[in-house]
């Protein structure tokens, strides 16, 4: 076993390099070091929990006030697992409070440094709970919506809500709160990330479908879907829920119905390459 089996690859986002440069010019390197230490501990919480569930983890990307754990899991893990992995990050802040208390009791650091640690630990915890993607609050929102909405709908709504919150915070920072360059850069960075994720939402959904096609998704029940014979396969897939296998009822003219299994739809899309046919045409072909 190598060190790589226990410690993830950690990368620094270019935006963080900008903040490091700013900290040197503004004399706030101590504050930045505290922030980075807290963020790293936060992300290692996600990593440790994901490792316990044997997730395939590529790396951790650090950026100011947060980070992103890059994995090969794309909606193919149980909601409970994803929730625990998401919670593991904010839980680390409770442990950090404990560490700060021990440092304060034993007077290991000056009180000014301890106050900074408490301040930034609280700030990062609260910031990560804002419903902005890909912060933990955004992931909580996505998992919550995924529990009762179709995967594609839940993901799209999460990004839309996230974009709204980013826009609100940017307006508040520009016209209400005292202006700080760091805050504006951070919000602009999140807006850029959300805009990019919005453009790539189709590919995220396709990864989700591929995992279902490959049989790598947990199933905890059956959910019926009623569709028109004129619907495309993608229309049907857009109504797929996590942790549910779908029995698809196809309505034809004259109140006639036919049933089609989820795996048959996925087979005709990914293997047969029948992208341009309606589900009604495919159902007749199966007959």
Q: What are the pLDDT digits (tens) for 221-266?
A: 999 999 999 999 999 999 999 999 999 999 998 878 899 989 999 9
Asked whether residue 30 falls in the same domain as residue 140, the answer is: no
43 carries an active-site annotation: yes
Q: Which of 84, 109, 128 is the last residue of a domain?
A: 128
Which tens digits make up the pLDDT trace of 174-220? 888 877 777 887 888 889 989 999 999 999 999 999 999 998 888 88
Asked whether residue 178 falls in the same domain as residue 101, the answer is: no
pLDDT for the residue numbered 215: 86
Asked whether residue 138 falls in the same domain as residue 165, the answer is: yes
Closest CA to 205 of 245, 156, 157, 161: 156
DSSP string, 46-94: HHHHHHHTT--EEEEEEETTEEEEEES-SS-S-HHHHHHHHHHHHHHHH
- Evaluate if residue 3 carries a pLDDT over 50: no
Asked whether residue 145 falls in the same domain as residue 231, the answer is: no
Structural domain harbouring 152 = 134-217
Spatial separation of the C-alpha atoms in residues 112 and 219, rounded to whole Å: 52
Work out the percent of the chain whose per-residue pLDDT is above 70: 95
Asked whether residue 22 falls in the same domain as residue 53, the answer is: yes
User: Residue 191 CB: number of other CB atoms within 10 A?
Assistant: 17
Spatial separation of the C-alpha atoms in residues 217 and 210, rounded to whole Å: 10
User: For residues 133 and 194, is the Cβ–Cβ distance under 8 A?
Assistant: yes
Asked whether residue 78 falls in the same domain as residue 186, the answer is: no
Q: Which of 165, 197, 217 is the last residue of a domain?
A: 217
Asked whether residue 164 falls in the same domain as residue 269, the answer is: no
Instruction: Pinpoint the alpha helices (H) of the chain.
Output: 14-26, 29-52, 79-105, 111-128, 136-146, 151-175, 181-199, 201-213, 233-237, 262-270, 279-286
Give the pLDDT band (50/70/90) at residue 7: low
Kindly name the residue from 43, 73, 193, 262 that is annotated as catalytic: 43
Asked whether residue 141 falls in the same domain as residue 122, the answer is: no
Return left, alpha or beta for 107; rule: phi > 0 is left, psi -120 to 50 is alpha, else beta.
left
How many Å is the Cα radius of gyration of the chain? 23
Spatial separation of the C-alpha atoms in residues 98 and 167, rounded to whole Å: 35
Q: Which has the minimum average pLDDT: 24-33, 112-121, 230-239, 264-273?
A: 24-33
Asked whether residue 11 falls in the same domain as residue 96, the answer is: yes
Q: Which of 110, 128, 146 is the last residue of a domain?
A: 128
Asked whether residue 2 falls in the same domain as residue 92, the answer is: yes
The tokens for 263 are: 């795996």
Asked whether residue 84 falls in the same domain as residue 5, the answer is: yes
**Torsions phi, psi for 99 (to 5 deg):** -65, -40
Tally of domains in the chain? 3
CA dihedral 31→36→42→45, nearest 10 degrees, is: -140
Asked whether residue 7 falls in the same domain as residue 116, the answer is: yes
Spatial separation of the C-alpha atoms in residues 213 and 23, rounded to whole Å: 48
């Amino acid at each position: 076993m190598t060190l790589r089996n226990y410690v993830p690859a950690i990368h620094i986002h270019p935006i963080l390099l900008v903040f490091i440069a700013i900290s040197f010019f503004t004399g706030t390197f101590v504050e930045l070091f505290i922030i980075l230490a807290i963020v790293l501990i936060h992300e290692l919480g996600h990593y440790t929990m994901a490792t316990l569930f044997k997730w395939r983890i590529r790396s951790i990307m650090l950026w100011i006030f947060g980070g992103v754990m890059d994995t090969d899991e794309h909606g193919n893990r149980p909601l409970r697992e994803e929730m625990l992995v998401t919670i593991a990050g904010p839980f680390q802040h409770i442990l950090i409070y404990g560490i700060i208390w021990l440092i304060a009791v034993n007077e290991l650091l000056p009180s000014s440094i301890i106050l900074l640690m408490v301040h930034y630990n609280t700030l990062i915890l609260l910031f990560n709970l804002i419903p902005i993607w890909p912060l933990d609050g955004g992931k909580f929102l996505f998992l919550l919506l995924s529990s009762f909405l179709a995967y594609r709908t839940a993901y799209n709504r999460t990004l839309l809500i996230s974009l709204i919150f980013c826009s609100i915070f940017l307006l508040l920072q520009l016209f209400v709160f005292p202006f700080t360059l760091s805050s504006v850069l951070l919000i602009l960075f999140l807006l850029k990330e959300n805009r990019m994720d919005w453009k790539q939402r189709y590919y995220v959904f396709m990864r989700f479908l591929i995992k279902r096609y490959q049989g790598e998704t947990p199933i905890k029940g059956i959910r019926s879907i009623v569709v028109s014979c004129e619907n495309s396969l993608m229309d049907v897939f857009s109504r797929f829920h996590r942790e549910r296998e779908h029995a698809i009822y196809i309505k034809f003219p004259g109140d006639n119905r036919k049933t089609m299994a989820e795996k048959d739809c996925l087979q005709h899309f990914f293997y047969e390459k029948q992208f341009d046919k309606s589900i009604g045409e495919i159902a007749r072909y199966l007959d």
